Structure 1
Amino acid sequence: MTVEGGITGECEDKKRIGAGEIHELLRDRICLLEYAPGAMLREIDIATEFGVSRTPVREALQRLSIEGLIEARTGIGTFVTTLDPTQLREVFDVRIELAQLFGRLTARAATPADVALLESLLTRANSLEEKFDLSEHWQINHALHFAISDLLLNKTFLETWHNLYFRAARVWYDMSRGIWPDAVRLLQLEITDLLTALRENDIEAIGYIKRNYIKFCWKRISSRQHL
């Protein structure tokens, strides 16, 4: 492919990006703290970056607002939200309770591909012992969240489950910098436990494992923030 052809292809790719993809990219940046709490998001800047009109950007921002990740302040602009201690506790309380519903909702059977995916994530998690890499830590947790969520067939439940995960994620990943060895150890143990349940095709056990590890994360967050 010529250089000219490559550039044209890149521009066309950018023009084809939709509101859903923009929403996911912005959401991930918020969770990775690339957009810090309180940061202003400008429609024109985002539209320019992705080579689109403001319409899909507005749609993406509206979804983020519904999810509680950003807020529009009349006459001022759109900002990344923060979670005060009460809100943070409420988010984790609900996540802990929701996790226990896994075994009570319709789910598909686990497959060898599901097991292989978690095995690959465990290998990646083990490599984190060698060096601090917040982005890789996020990517592994992100993939793990969706790998487990993919087992469930209840879309209404999943909407809430995903939303609360992303609202809490940025707090946990930010804290991981200060408790790196412990954060990695928790991730390794969680994937190991989930693998055992997955191999046994025990969806109810998966729910209780998620509940336990959400509680472990909350315990560390609350102790360090004196909540």
Structure 2
Amino acid sequence: MNALPEDPEIDTDDVSSSAEQRFDSLYRTLRSRICLLDYAPGSRLSEVALAREFGVSRTPIRRVLGRLELEGLVEIRHGVGTLVTDINLAYLCDVYELRMELVSQIGLMSPQTPTGPLLQKVRETLERASGVAGAESPRRLFAQVNIEFFEALMEVVGNQALREVLVLLFYRSSRMWPYLMPQEMVAMEAELFCSEIRETLQLIENGQLVALGNLRRRHIAMALQRLKLMSAQGGAVA
């Protein structure tokens, strides 16, 4: 039997690229939901329900959940299913301390020259942060803007291995803000965050990336102290 001719209309590279883009979109969506506490710690994620929601088979959902498990955001238990991991505050404080030490390297290890689009992203983040206190869901918006700010700063990190570790640690610990911060403290934290973004923007505009790394270390250290205080005072999602 003669082999069927290949369809000239199909580009396997395009098909593969499209599949990876869908996977990345699914992954980022589920990661965001976990980090914003849309999926509460301890909640069960159903492969069937997620596949139905996103209009895909269970295979890409299972693959995304496997990646999230490697990153410490979910736990897959045989006979139980996939559970969003609990928030272990002592461990996440350790994560923050490691972030402090690593972030100081961003201006030393092959930093990328800041671009116009990056500066614009940071300015837009500052504008969104300025509106946190008056937002309908201020704590959630604070957490969203925190993620946006982090993602923008990663554009100056030229060392791929450093960037991968920083991203992993950030998302592993980012739930601490919406989990611990009481509603009555959001306005104050938003004001501090705006000051942090302004300082950061000034250093980026001047190309002072070594100073940027040191500034980020100081900001993370101060944030950790405030989070510990919130924890001691019993701060949690209301």
Instruction: Work out whether the TM-score is over 0.5.
Output: yes
Q: TM-score, normalised by structure 1?
A: 0.87
Q: TM-score, normalised by structure 2?
A: 0.83
**How many residue pairs were aligned?**
213
Residue 27 (structure 2) aligned to one of 23, 26, 39: 23
Equivalence for 1:181: 187
Contact 1:97 1:211 in 2 (8 A): yes
**Cα deviation per residue 1:38-74 (whole Å; 9 max; x = unaligned)?**
0001111110100100110011001100100001112
Q: Distance in 2 between matches of 1:96 and 1:211?
A: 5
1:104-119 equivalence runs, <5 A: 104-119=108-123
Q: Distance in 2 between matches of 1:162 and 1:173?
A: 18
Q: Distance in 1 between matches of 2:138 and 2:232?
A: 26
Q: Distance in 2 between matches of 1:87 and 1:171?
A: 11
Equivalence for 1:126: 130
Instruction: Tell me whether 1:85 sits opposite 2:85 in the alignment.
Output: no
Deviation at 1:86, TM superposition (A): 2.5
Contact 1:70 1:80 in 2 (8 A): yes
Instruction: Tell me whether 1:97 sits opposite 2:97 in the alignment.
Output: no
Contact 2:118 2:155 in 1 (8 A): no
1:142-181 equivalence runs, <5 A: 142-178=147-183, 179-181=185-187
**Cα deviation per residue 1:12-36 (whole Å; 9 max; x = unaligned)?**
xxx9772221111000000110000
Contact 2:110 2:158 in 1 (8 A): yes
Equivalence for 1:6: none
Q: Distance in 1 between matches of 2:122 and 2:111?
A: 18
Taking only the aligned residue pairs, the percentage that are identical comes to: 30
Deviation at 1:208, TM superposition (A): 1.5
Contact 1:68 1:81 in 2 (8 A): yes
Q: What amino acid maps onto 2:211 in structure 1? A: A
Q: Tell me whether 217-226 or 112-121 shows the greater mean CA deviation.
A: 112-121
Contact 2:106 2:156 in 1 (8 A): no
Q: Tell me whether 23-32 or 108-117 shows the greater mean CA deviation.
A: 108-117
Contact 1:172 1:221 in 2 (8 A): yes
Gaps of 5+ in 2: 1-17, 234-238
Contact 1:172 1:217 in 2 (8 A): no
Residue 62 (structure 1) aligned to one of 40, 61, 66: 66
Q: What amino acid maps onto 2:202 in structure 1? A: T
Deviation at 1:37, TM superposition (A): 0.4
Q: Distance in 2 between matches of 1:117 and 1:76?
A: 42
Instruction: Tell me whether 1:71 sits opposite 2:93 in the alignment.
Output: no
Gaps of 5+ in 1: 1-14
Deviation at 1:159, TM superposition (A): 1.3
Deviation at 1:141, TM superposition (A): 1.6
Contact 1:47 1:57 in 2 (8 A): yes
Q: Secondary structure at the match of 1:72?
A: strand
Deviation at 1:173, TM superposition (A): 2.3
Equivalence for 1:40: 44
Q: Distance in 1 between matches of 2:134 and 2:87?
A: 32
More helix by share: 1
Deviation at 1:82, TM superposition (A): 1.6
**Cα deviation per residue 1:66-93 (whole Å; 9 max; x = unaligned)?**
1000011121111001232321121111
Contact 1:106 1:152 in 2 (8 A): yes
Q: Distance in 1 between matches of 2:133 and 2:88?
A: 32
